[in-house]
Amino acid sequence: MTDFAALSVEQFLNDLASSAPTPGGGTAAAVAGAQGSALVEMVCALTLAKEKFAAVHDAVRSIQDGAQVARGEFLDLARRDAEAYDAVVEARRLPKETPEEKAERSRRITVANRRATEVPMQTARTAVRILEALPELVEKGNPNAISDLGTAALLLEAATVAALLNVGINLPGVPDPDFIAQMNSDTADLNERSLRLRDQVVRDVRKRF
Amino acid sequence: MTDFAALSVEQFLNDLASSAPTPGGGTAAAVAGAQGSALVEMVCALTLAKEKFAAVHDAVRSIQDGAQVARGEFLDLARRDAEAYDAVVEARRLPKETPEEKAERSRRITVANRRATEVPMQTARTAVRILEALPELVEKGNPNAISDLGTAALLLEAATVAALLNVGINLPGVPDPDFIAQMNSDTADLNERSLRLRDQVVRDVRKRF
């Protein structure tokens, strides 16, 4: 399985642009989340570098640690999203001649579809977890890097909503009403929180111009 | 000057996370735009690969060509954004002892700030140009890749709004009221168009679940 982190940016984009089924939108969403996390880390680093922000260093260090962990998770999710979708494609190609083959194929498709909703749901959760820290960082962080926090919020929100589109597209393939209801409920909650946090951060950033 | 396209994804993210002034949000916005363009190209490729969509192949090929051009522009803009911001930092470090030095430093800062608004404005324009093609592609493109078009719209809109935050943060450093008025007017127009197109595409994608 491809480790996207090791590819050059240009090669990753070429792979994304190709007609191969993966990498696709789920991987792109996770990489956008990793970019957002990296920008949060940068703003933290620019705050920790200045003695005049010493009073907030402990709080900022904690946000930086969280963003760094999230960046690693996003790169892992980028890979796992492609694996999950490849498994869906593979399951669909299984033979379906005999009743036994049909049953086995159907079972494998269900398992793969379920996985193809769980992985992007995790991408959305990780993105919202970092978004939740941004209003505090807008208050406490180095104001010279305020526009970078706005960019981080935009990329993390895009990652969230995009990941949830990938949940939604794969969800009808999971014949489990309780699971579907839970995923739909989580989707509505994460969509709402990410948009609200994005709007709050972008508005606060624009106030500083 | 660093060619970000040649870095590994992991190294690019490390550079983004570091406290070095560049790459920052402007470069991240352009890379997100490149990812959005690549996803548009992928959906076009998945449509052109199927004979059953032959009736729309000409229109789709034209969108694919446009997205490919835009991807190259975004990678160029990612580099130029970092160069523009480095020039601002460099100009601020010029000596300011004598009146002549002060005047020269002030002139150089103005030129650099102007450039640091023009580059992200171009990023926003390129992103909106591709966003404009998406409603047609949602109609005509391979429906199996519909969620990837939603992801493309989200990344291109995030790239637009983020680039425009970078315009806004640098604009007060350009002492030219006509230029400021024009950039503010363009900013309002591009923000509005990108959000409207994102909402339209995401809504159309969700209808297909």
Is A72 touching B (CB cutoff 8 A)? no
B81-117: pLDDT as tens digits: 999 999 999 999 999 999 999 999 999 999 999 999 9
Q: How would residue B2 be classed by pLDDT, with cut points 50, 70 and 90?
A: confident
State yes or no: pLDDT of B55 exceeds 70.
yes
Given this model, what pLDDT does residue B1 score?
60
Q: Which of A24, A147, A168 sits opposite B165 (nearest CB)?
A: A147
Q: Which of A12, A146, A154 sits opposite B158 (nearest CB)?
A: A154
SS3 B69: helix
| Whole-prediction pTM | 0.98
State yes or no: pLDDT of B138 exceeds 80.
yes
d(CA A35, CA A159) in angstroms, rounded, equals: 10
d(CA A36, CA A149) in angstroms, rounded, equals: 8
Taking an 8 Å cut-off on Cβ atoms, the answer to whether B28 and A39 are in contact is yes
Question: Which residue, A26, A147, A44, is CA-closest to A80?
Answer: A26
Is residue A2 within 8 A of residue A31, CB to CB? The reply is: no
Given this model, what pLDDT does residue A1 score?
61
Is residue A10 within 8 A of residue B7, CB to CB? The reply is: no
Is B166 touching A (CB cutoff 8 A)? yes
Q: Render chain A in DSSP notation, one character per residue.
A: ---GGGSBHHHHHHHHHSSSSSS-HHHHHHHHHHHHHHHHHHHHHHHHT-GGGGGGHHHHHHHHHHHHHHHHHHHHHHHHHHHHHHHHHHHHTS--SSHHHHHHHHHHHHHHHHHHHHHHHHHHHHHHHHHTTHHHHHHHS-GGGHHHHHHHHHHHHHHHHHHHHHHHHHGGG---HHHHHHHHHHHHHHHHHHHHHHHHHHHHHHHT-
Taking an 8 Å cut-off on Cβ atoms, the answer to whether A42 and B205 are in contact is no
Taking an 8 Å cut-off on Cβ atoms, the answer to whether A158 and B161 are in contact is no
Q: Which of A13, A25, A166 sits opposite B71 (nearest CB)?
A: A13
Q: How far is A146 from chain B (nearest CA, A)?
A: 9
Taking an 8 Å cut-off on Cβ atoms, the answer to whether B16 and A5 are in contact is no
Taking an 8 Å cut-off on Cβ atoms, the answer to whether A154 and B166 are in contact is no
Q: Is the dihedral angle over the CA atoms A23, B78, A61, A45 positive or is it negative?
A: positive
User: What's the whole-number mean pLDDT along residues B163-169?
Assistant: 97
Residues in chain B: 209
